[in-house]
Amino acid sequence: MKIVVIGGSGLIGSKLVRKLREHGHEAVAASPGSGVNTLTGEGLAEALKGAPVVVDVSNSPSWEDAAVMKFFETSTRNLLAYEEAAGVGHHVALSVVGTERLLESGYFRAKMAQENLIKGSSIPYSIIHATQFFEFVKGITDFSTAGNKVLLPPALIQPMAADDVASAVGRIAMGSPVNGTVEVGGPEQFRLDELVRRFLAARKDPREVVTDPHARYYGVELSERTLVPGDDARLGETRFETWLSQPTGQIQSTKPQPAA
């Protein structure tokens, strides 16, 4: 089956494209680098030709409030219009667990706008809410650092490996549209402050985590369960300690990290 992966060069997209190809599918990795730009529409008509499924795992290059809103609104509108014209039968999009509880943040208001456009379109869809990727813990840490201290609340978090996210997205993309939201998460819950302490210890990073119940997460005051999925979430297998001990667990993205 031909499956177009928008954001196919990104962290999740590149893993997803590899997995789909391993399963014998014709996975098209679509991104500006391969001549497909959802903001301008460039290359979309050609890429979508004959594809019953489109997976959107793109992300905005900027997370400034207005820029991220413009990215998700414009790219989603364009993508859905081109999909409608091409007769796409399943639109799959990756979003974040708790998006509806994180609307103090401009990034999550933009993700919510993306979700609402999908729900309002005529194309059958599946929205996947994933928890924070293990690969994103460094981004959370750096964002919350002041001097040598990392200020974090003790809220619960249930992170997962990007590899498990890609597997879950692939499985859902191969299934029938759910016309709703599916949650995926990691196998264990942590306290956010404790998770980052473990991460820093494993990296031999001297920064000190200071627990502060009112410390904000990308500008949002978290309650105990803001970031965790419900009981029906499908869980990935990879444990944080296992990921930390693998060489790939040490490889960090050079890109700035979004508030997800």
Does 167 help bind ligand NAP (rule: CB under 6 A)? Answer: no
Q: How far is the CB of 212 from ligand NAP (least distance, A)?
A: 22
Residue 40 Rama label (left phi>0; alpha psi -120 to 50; beta): alpha
Q: Return the residue of 13, 98, 185, 236 that touches ligand NAP, per CB under 6 A.
A: 13
Residue written as token pair 């919350």: 144
Q: b/e per residue, 217-245, with b = 16+ CB within 10 A?
A: bbebebeeebbbbeeebbbbebebeebbe
Window of 45-53, 91-99, 144-152, 236-244 that interacts with ligand NAP by CB under 6 A:
91-99
Q: How far is the CB of 59 from ligand NAP (least distance, A)?
A: 4
C-alpha span between 73 and 115 (Å, rounded): 10
Window of 26-34, 46-54, 83-91, 211-219 that interacts with ligand NAP by CB under 6 A:
26-34
Enumerate residues 116-155 that contact ligand NAP by CB under 6 A. Answer: 130, 132-133, 136
Q: Which two tokens stand for residue 42?
A: 């460039």
Does 10 help bind ligand NAP (rule: CB under 6 A)? Answer: yes
Q: How far is the CB of 234 from ligand NAP (least distance, A)?
A: 14
C-alpha span between 8 and 54 (Å, rounded): 11
Considering beta carbons, is residue 62 or 208 the nearer one to ligand NAP? Answer: 62
- Rounded to 5 degrees, φ, ψ at 40 are -105, -20
C-alpha span between 158 and 105 (Å, rounded): 20
> For residues 50 and 44, is the Cβ–Cβ distance under 8 A?
no
Could you count the other beta carbons within 10 Å of the beta carbon of residue 251?
9
Return the DSSP state at 256.
P
Does 54 help bind ligand NAP (rule: CB under 6 A)? Answer: no
Does 199 help bind ligand NAP (rule: CB under 6 A)? Answer: no
Residue written as token pair 């979003």: 95
Does 7 help bind ligand NAP (rule: CB under 6 A)? Answer: yes
Considering beta carbons, is residue 208 or 232 the nearer one to ligand NAP? Answer: 232
Q: Which two tokens stand for residue 36?
A: 């497909």
Enumerate residues 57-86 that contact ligand NAP by CB under 6 A. Answer: 57-59, 61, 75
Q: How far is the CB of 79 from ligand NAP (least distance, A)?
A: 9
Does 181 help bind ligand NAP (rule: CB under 6 A)? Answer: no
Does 37 help bind ligand NAP (rule: CB under 6 A)? Answer: yes
- Residue 105 CA, distance from chain mean position: 15
Residues at the interface with ligand NAP (CB under 6 A)? 6-7, 9-13, 31-33, 36-39, 57-59, 61, 75, 94-96, 111, 130, 132-133, 136, 255, 258, 260
